[in-house]
A = this chain, B = another copy of it.
């Protein structure tokens, strides 16, 4: 943004191509899954890629708005939780030359997610995340971006309340513990887990709401209004 030269003079032909790519994550079938699209155009036609697009200066107020619009238009998803991951830019990620992208991560609850109906329905699919990637090779440098996203989320789950964004509106404490365990890949102590959640005070019991089964009924909880992600003092 600084510099002595005139802006337009230097940038008319050096301006790199700018995109926004979104790593969409959910918890399905006991593990993390990510939403990918099959590319219809060159380059990398036919390859799987992150959901992405261009900034629309007339419509988008800022980068996050662009990410949310792309999420809605291309994947039919309105994600409550979107966070910027990292910028990527070099001369090799796109065969056409120097490009940059702003990578975002979106977390959505596995229930109530709608894939875009219509034209490109068969070119959109959920892929299970194994390790920090998916089975198919991805277009551009999307393998690297996906890996960075999965690593970031796994790390953050250790010390934040981030998994609540993967939950339906109401859930039991045991449900939440299962989600933590699935992402972290290790069992957790029930008593300790509940102590932490209670201390953090980011959930509230839904009065009179219980999940019934052939055992003691479980209290349902929801996120306290107006709260964003909580950072625990230490680890969960």
Contact = CB atoms under 8 A, between A and B. Distances in A.
Interface of A: 1-7, 10-11, 14-19, 21, 37, 39-41, 49-57, 60-63, 66, 74, 84, 86-91, 94, 96-102, 120, 139-140, 142, 234-235
Contact of A18 (B88, B90, B100): B100
B90 A1 contact: no
Contact of A53 (B3, B52, B53, B101): B3
Given A6-B41, A18-B18, A63-B100, 13 more contacts: A1-B99, A2-B21, A2-B39, A3-B54, A5-B41, A7-B41, A7-B96, A14-B57, A61-B90, A61-B91, A63-B88, A84-B86, A234-B234
B4 A50 contact: no
A126 B127 CA distance: 50
A39 B140 CA distance: 37
Q: How often does this chain occur in the complex, in copies? A: 2
Nearest 9 A-B pairs (CB), nearest first? A62-B90, A57-B98, A2-B52, A63-B89, A1-B52, A87-B87, A87-B102, A4-B40, A2-B49
Nearest to A141: B1
A48 to B, nearest CB: 10
B98 A100 contact: no
Nearest to A41: B4
B88 A11 contact: no
A206 to B, nearest CB: 33
B3 A94 contact: no
| Residue from the set A3, A17, A96 with the largest chain B CB neighbour count within 10 Å | A3
B41 A63 contact: no
A120 to B, nearest CB: 8
Contacts of A100: 18, 55, 63, 100, 102
A14 B101 CA distance: 15
Contact of A87 (B49, B63, B120, B235): B63
Contacts of A56: 14
